[in-house]
């Protein structure tokens, strides 16, 4: 049975202080969050810019510790609310847990608060661990995936639950400190927690399931070229069907390829962009209905809304499949695009 050595745990918790590539961003976040807390309306704007970078970097830290590598230094892309949306999903989980804790405390007192806290301490670490492995918010909420992770890592992963309870309590206690010191302590505790979760995953090799073997990395360009050639041949075959009036067979040919493509995310985009360059964009719009369906099935609301808007620029009568209309409207509402949601409601 795998065990966690006390010295390894100390190293994992102290990692944000001992690794300069993490310490420097942490200090930068501390200063900007502190400045934003003093800044009134301008501070709120600064907080809106810096918060996605803080949350996203913590997931990058977790994933790096699970891989046993040094996390990348945050760039300008970290400050974007819409890029790599999966890395911001823990924000939603944390907010829901806080709201549930407050509600349980109001209705059931201390006992209710403790039950929700313990439940959250079991679920949240496992959820962000699954998220780091799959990059899928839906999978991070899948009870089967969570139970599998717990079954594999139970020998040591209980330490993540214990640390979450302890660090949460310390964060609340830190509220009594001067503002800048409180922010520093809370950021240190949060970074230490994500570092610990990633470090606890490392011995089980879970993250390697999505790694590219080092022996193949040198052949990446060749593999990419070969993949594009295969996609081109598949698209040409589909064009043969569609150009002869058999659109359904052409689309099904592409969909069958997508089931086998090693990188279906880029494949969807590649086929759509290529089809838009045909003499008529209508086939691309029919393909886009399937593309939107795939986005919605995976909970990717922002890309789905962007794709709908782009298709409507080509043909303002465009709409998703009838069975996807309600999900598309919900996505529009979630993205605060009331106008597009209203137009879809009329279909």
Q: Given 210, 229, 257, which residue is the final one in a domain?
A: 210
Statement to judge: residues 99 and 248 lie in one domain: no
Statement to judge: residues 223 and 204 lie in one domain: no
Q: Given 168, 191, 210, which residue is the final one in a domain?
A: 210
How many helices (H) and strands (E) the chain has is answered by 15, 0
Statement to judge: residues 236 and 170 lie in one domain: no
Q: What is the dihedral of CA 285, 291, 293, 299, to 10 degrees?
A: -140
Statement to judge: residues 206 and 221 lie in one domain: no
Please write the tens of the pLDDT for every residue from 68-119. 888 877 766 566 655 567 788 888 888 898 899 889 888 888 888 899 999 9
Statement to judge: residues 195 and 311 lie in one domain: no
User: Pick from 277, 304, 293, 290: which is nearest to 251 by CA?
Assistant: 290
Statement to judge: residues 58 and 167 lie in one domain: yes
Comparing 222 with 144, the larger pLDDT belongs to 144
Which range has the worst mean pLDDT, 184-188, 189-193, 274-278? 274-278
Q: Which domain holds residue 39?
A: 6-210
User: Pick from 278, 279, 289: which is nearest to 248 by CA?
Assistant: 289
Statement to judge: residues 85 and 175 lie in one domain: yes
Its pTM stands at: 0.58
Please write the tens of the pLDDT for every residue from 288-322. 999 999 999 989 999 999 999 989 888 888 999 99
State the Cα–Cα distance between residues 55 and 88, nearest whole angstrom.
6
CA 74 centroid distance within chain: 16
Statement to judge: residues 149 and 165 lie in one domain: yes
Q: In the prediction, which pLDDT does 174 show?
A: 93
């Amino acid at each position: 049975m795998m065990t966690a050595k006390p010295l390894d745990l100390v190293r994992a918790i102290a990692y944000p202080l001992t690794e300069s590539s993490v310490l420097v961003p942490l200090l930068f976040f501390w200063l900007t969050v502190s400045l934003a807390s003093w800044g009134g309306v301008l501070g709120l704007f600064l907080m809106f810019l810096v918060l996605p970078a803080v949350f996203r970097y913590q997931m990058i830290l977790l994933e790096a510790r699970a891989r046993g590598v040094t996390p990348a230094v945050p760039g300008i892309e970290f400050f974007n609310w819409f890029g790599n949306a999966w890395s911001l999903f823990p924000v939603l989980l944390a907010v829901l847990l806080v709201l549930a804790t407050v509600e349980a405390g109001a209705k059931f007192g201390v006992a209710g608060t403790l039950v929700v806290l313990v439940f959250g301490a079991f679920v949240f670490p496992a959820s962000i661990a699954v998220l780091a492995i799959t990059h899928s918010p839906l999978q991070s909420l899948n009870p089967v995936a969570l139970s599998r992770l717990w079954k594999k890592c139970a020998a040591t992963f209980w330490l993540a639950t214990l640390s979450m309870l302890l660090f949460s309590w310390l964060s609340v206690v830190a509220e009594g400190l001067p503002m800048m010191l409180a922010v520093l302590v809370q950021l240190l505790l949060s970074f230490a927690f994500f570092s610990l979760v990633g470090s606890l995953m490392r011995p089980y090799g879970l993250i390697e399931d999505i790694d590219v073997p080092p022996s193949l990395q040198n052949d990446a360009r060749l593999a990419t070229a070969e993949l594009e050639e295969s996609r081109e041949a598949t698209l040409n075959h589909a064009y043969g069907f569609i150009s002869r009036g058999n659109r359904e067979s052409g689309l099904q040919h592409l969909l069958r390829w997508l089931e086998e493509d090693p990188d279906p995310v880029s494949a969807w985009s590649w086929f759509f962009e290529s089809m838009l360059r045909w003499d008529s964009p209508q086939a691309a719009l029919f393909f886009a209905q399937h593309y939107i369906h795939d986005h919605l099935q995976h909970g990717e609301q922002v890309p789905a809304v962007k794709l709908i808007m782009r298709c409507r620029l080509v043909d303002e009568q465009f709409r998703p499949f009838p069975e996807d209309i309600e999900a598309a409207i919900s996505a529009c509402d979630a993205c605060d695009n009331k106008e597009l949601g209203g137009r879809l409601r009329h279909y």
